[in-house]
Amino acid sequence: MLTKYLKTGLCTLLLGLSSGAESVAQKIISNALTVTSSTTAPPGTSVRIGQPAGDAGGATSIRFKKNKKLKTEKPDERDRTPRQMGYYERDRDLGQTFTVGEEGFYLRRITLKVNKAVLPGALGAPVSIQLFEVTGTPVIHDNGTTSGRVVDWTDDPRADDYLTGETYRSLAVFSGGRIPAGLQPQEYLHFQLLAPHSPYLEAHKQYAFLVLFDEARPDQGLSLANNYWGKYPGGHAIRREGKGTFPPKPNDQNDSSFPASFSRRVAISPGSLGFPDVDTWRDFVFFLE
């Protein structure tokens, strides 16, 4: 039986989860995706894998902005991160790892719940879904902080932990979708993978998906509902940020930006480490049909 955490010796292992190696996009499929929105989650009878729990706050966003800005935070001596020196908003793709159960299935639709923020540039924006196969033995890295306050939204020192040891092999990028022009906060986004491109997911294997804006636009961002201290046993949230530098360089505007080449961008492996936030413990609200 899968469980979120496995305590062993001096380290904590996540079953089949982490961040890590380079990923090469094997194929980019155009006209393979449509996107719709609704006020309701998919019916339980059609959902093969899902995680419905979300926090009232805890917003984190996909974004790809032309008008990137240097952000500064209110000084806080309890905050050990470099945010007090200012940092650039980072281009970001978001997604989730997950584990297939006893039976494989064709993945036809991915549903995510929108949180409170829908920026104007997101409406009508072209988007893609990238799918990965996930392997490896993950290990939690404490980032050198085992006590005290490391961020300003929690006193838990695990809030800057990240994962190592996992490998993501890109299976395909499904393109052609657009965010609905009338999307509202708290609605559900349904990403339909069109036939004959629906991929078959094998039993007992781990996979991951990312949702990404295809190109930079002014004020393009969209927050996704999530559970920060997630309990989904088969996976965790992931992200791809900027140039994919490890560790990230928050005060470098170039490092915060995606490569100009779309193919180079989707070749960057995702993981859990980001700035000013991490996805190590997070689960997005998601449903797979």
pLDDT at position 11: 38
**E-assigned strands of 54-160?**
60-63, 70-71, 87-88, 92-99, 105-106, 109-118, 126-141
Going from N- to C-terminal start, the domains of the chain cover: 21-288
Structure tokens at 100: 């297939």
Mean pLDDT for back-to-back runs of 10 residues, the chain (289 residues)? 38 39 66 98 95 83 86 54 66 97 98 96 99 88 63 62 85 98 98 97 98 97 92 93 86 89 95 80 94
Residue for token pair 């991915």: 110
Sign of torsion over alpha carbons 135, 139, 142, 147? positive
pLDDT at position 216: 97
Distance CA(76)–CA(80), nearest Å, equals 9
Q: What is the pTM of this model?
A: 0.86
pLDDT at position 198: 96
Supply the DSSP string of 44-66, one letter for each residue: GGG-SEEE----SS--EEEE-BS
Within the chain, where are the H helices? 262-266
Question: Are 232 and 14 spatial neighbours (Cβ–Cβ below 8 Å)?
Answer: no
Structure tokens at 8: 């062993």
Q: Name which of 56, 78, 95 is nearest 284 in CA terms.
A: 95
